[in-house]
Amino acid sequence: MQKAAIAVKEAVPELIVIADTCLCEYTNHVHCGYLDVGDLIGRVLNQPTLELLKKTAVSQAKAGVDIIAASGIMDGFVQAIRTGLDEGGFEDLPILSYAAKYAFAYYGPFGDAADSAPQFGDRRTYQMDPGNAREAIKEIELDIAEGADMLMVKPALSYMDIIWRVKEASNVPVAAYIPVNTP
């Protein structure tokens, strides 16, 4: 991904490159971080995962990306990568947080196509509860306090109410993510 970012910025310097910062692209079980050995539910070990995500974000920054998209939704993710980026000399690089991210059937075909459906368990232990809209507001307040510059709602199509709530409750740009395979 970093090599692709370098190539894109060389070919079209004015194009904005947003790096998806997560680990599920690289783990063989396709969960978003380190798991406890033998944990078949898919609970991610927060602290060691944050350390690795921090290094990932700095590496992407060095590759020249314009925006870091914090797509893993571990507790403290935004703060961890903000700290890493600041320490690495990338104080000005903005963070787009996937503050409101829900498990949804849309991801089924997407995951199959990307070969990224979890091998066991699912991501519900770290994605949000669709029936609890107020949780989204709690998450975005935390993320803004941790240094998020923009917020993402995903998937957008079935969460218009959340987009509205997030916009009402914040004063940063709000992005809507529509998975490509959405009918």
Residues 115-174 binding Zn ion (CB under 5 A) are: none
Of the candidate residues 5, 22, 35, 61, the single one contacting Zn ion (CB under 5 A): 22
Closest approach of Cβ 71 to Zn ion, in Å?
A: 6
Please, which residues have CB within 8 angstroms of residue 6's CB and are 6 or more apart in sequence? Answer: 63, 64
Please name every residue paired with 21 in a beta bridge, in sequence order, or none if there are none.
70
Residue in 146, 59, 134 with CA at minimum distance from that of residue 100: 134
- Side-chain half-sphere CA neighbours of 150 within 13 A: 18
Q: In the annotation, is 138 catalytic?
A: no
Please name every residue paired with 35 in a beta bridge, in sequence order, or none if there are none.
44
Q: In the annotation, is 154 catalytic?
A: yes
* Per annotation, catalytic residue among 9, 54, 62, 154: 154
Q: Is residue 44 at the binding interface for Zn ion, with CB under 5 A as the rule?
A: no
Residues 23-42 binding Zn ion (CB under 5 A) are: 24, 32
Provide the binding-site residues for Zn ion, judged by CB under 5 A. 22, 24, 32, 72
Active site residues: 101, 154
